[in-house]
Chain A
Amino acid sequence: QVQLRQSGPGLMKPSETLSLTCAISGESVSSNSATWNWIRQSPSRGLEWLGRTYYRSRWYNDYALSMKGRIMISPDVAKNEVSLHLNSVTPEDSAVYFCARVAGANWFDPWGQGTLVTVSS
């Protein structure tokens, strides 16, 4: 079955770039029937979808408008991973970040284990 394993730093300073990786096992990141998503969760904003990448003969990305200009989600086919990069972070970006798959329809399953990111000077 598909499993997602996240990695990346948990403590950052304002203005730095957040970089998280989601290692995929059990399915190819290049699957024509899956999308690979990043979601974050904070007490103030709840669960918030950030964006996705997916392959349909070529690579596509979609991002939440609130993130545009700061976010990049990219695949690494050789490593079968998906990465999230969020630049110019502020304390408002402090949250638990999850990667999650959507396969076929519009529900998230499975999820990565989550990474707590704290932005503080």
Chain B
Amino acid sequence: SYVLTQPPSVSVAPGKTATITCGGLNIGSKSVNWYQQQAGQAPVLVIYNDRGRPSGIPARFSGSNSGTTATLTISRVEAGDEADYYCQVWHNGSDPPYVFGTGTKVTVL
């Protein structure tokens, strides 16, 4: 099955930039989605199709994808951004076809 690898944790000071990576074989050829999961809550879509932002998601959230790494960037980090973040792709021909990353805990210092 297809594997997506994320760093377990990222720490960032308020007002700084958090960068979360998602590694996968040839992930640059796939469409990557990102979710934010606050403690005890359901995941919320924050980036779709590599860099699209759903309505209501601040412009501080941005995404990119190339080669073997997709990246979620959170600029001007706020305390409310502290959460787990997951990448996700559709991998046709894989089982399961929907694959999630291992997750990254973002801690705001």
Contacts and interface: CB of A to CB of B under 8 A. Distances in A.
Nearest to A62: B97
A111 B44 contact: yes
Interface string A59-76: 000101110000000000
Contact of A112 (B33, B42, B102): B42
Nearest to A50: B96
A106 B42 contact: no
Interface string B89-109: 110000111111011000000
B31 A105 contact: yes
A98 interface: yes
Tier of interface size on chain B: 20 to 34
A49 B97 contact: yes
Tier of interface size on chain A: 20 to 34
B33 A107 contact: yes
Contact of A111 (B43, B48, B95, B103): B43
Interface in A17-70: 37, 39, 46-50, 62, 64-66
Given A49-B98, A106-B90, A111-B43, 17 more contacts: A39-B98, A49-B100, A62-B97, A64-B95, A65-B96, A66-B96, A98-B42, A106-B89, A107-B45, A107-B49, A108-B33, A109-B45, A109-B54, A110-B45, A111-B44, A112-B42, A113-B41
Interface of B: 31, 33, 35, 41-45, 48-49, 54, 86, 88-90, 95-100, 102-103
Interface of A: 37, 39, 46-50, 62, 64-66, 98, 105-114
